[in-house]
Amino acid sequence: MKKEDNSLSPIRILHIESATEICSVALSVDNEVVAKAETADANAHSRNLILFVEKVVRESGVDKHELAAVCFSAGPGSYTGLRIGASTAKGLAYSLGIPLIAVPTLESIAYGARKKKQDEKMLYCPMIDARRMEVFTSLYDADMSVIQPVAAKVVDEDFLAGTLEKQKVVFCGNGMAKCREILSRHPNALFDETPLSAANMVPAALRKFTAHDFEDTAYFEPFYLKEYIAAKSHVKGLE
């Protein structure tokens, strides 16, 4: 049975970010991050995620049973990273009897960029590295409303050309760097290198919590965007 929502109490939410190379956990009380642990070390998710959860809970002084919800970055992104993050978040939500909140990874990236470059006329284009010149991307306005839905796109000279003629666009995320040379040819292209972090999920998580926009803990699956294709094994006997 889920806890009753007491709107007079501080809203304590645990946030898990594992969609890319960043492994990050944060704990927020209302709109303030009170504890955070993260690393960009390769292949760190399975090794560090539970340790980070325990660390931020301990450092925040918040008991797990005081949490109002668990929030996680729902993709798109790394198949393995998303699976680890989702299973951890779902396990915590189920065991504690609290709601599960899913925040799109690209929205979280856009929120991080907006903290540093905020203008009501700007648009935000978060990018997650896919392969070659392809990125998972979408487009948000300053209110974090979706202007263009998430899609896998190849970045070339014509990417968002019509939009860039009219207004400034902030490009951000780990897919931005490989596209910067092409995009920087336009004067309205701006770039933000704020790393992905669980701390950036707080505004979206609070909005969803207030609206009771929760996921089905048993059946929710991350948004992979592309079908996962396992590489052929080169281990003798497993071909």
CB 80 within 8 A of CB 42: no
pLDDT of the residue at 231: 42
Same domain as 93, residue 164: no
In a domain, 156, yes or no: yes
Same domain as 42, residue 88: yes
Query: pLDDT for 180-239, tens place per residue?
Result: 999 999 999 999 999 999 999 999 999 999 999 999 999 999 998 865 444 443 434 334
Q: What is the DSSP letter of 215?
A: B
In a domain, 227, yes or no: no
- Edge-to-edge strands of the sheet including 189-192? 146-154, 134-140, 123-131, 169-172, 189-192
Same domain as 138, residue 74: no
pTM metric for this prediction: 0.89
Same domain as 94, residue 20: yes
Same domain as 20, residue 138: no
Higher pLDDT, 7 or 141: 141
Q: Report the CATH number that the domain containing residue 100 is assigned in CATH.
A: 3.30.420.40
Same domain as 123, residue 95: no
How many structural domains comprise the chain? 2
Same domain as 19, residue 48: yes
Same domain as 115, residue 58: no
Query: pLDDT for 62-117, tens place per residue?
Result: 999 999 999 999 999 999 999 999 999 999 999 999 999 999 999 999 999 999 88
Q: Phi/psi zone of residue 237: left (φ > 0), alpha (ψ -120 to 50 degrees), beta? A: left
In a domain, 237, yes or no: no
Higher pLDDT, 203 or 1: 203
In a domain, 29, yes or no: yes
pLDDT of the residue at 7: 52
Strand, coil or helix: 170? strand
Is pLDDT above 50 for 4? Answer: no
pLDDT of the residue at 227: 54
In a domain, 146, yes or no: yes
Same domain as 185, residue 152: yes
In a domain, 87, yes or no: yes
Same domain as 112, residue 185: yes
In a domain, 230, yes or no: no
In a domain, 238, yes or no: no
Same domain as 144, residue 30: no
Q: Which domain holds residue 131?
A: 106-192
Higher pLDDT, 16 or 5: 16
- What tokens were used for 209? 């919590």
Query: pLDDT for 151-186, tens place per residue?
Result: 999 999 899 999 999 999 999 999 999 999 999 999
pLDDT of the residue at 116: 85
Q: Give the DSSP letter string of 2-27.
A: PPP--TTS--EEEEEE-SSS-EEEEE
Same domain as 77, residue 67: yes
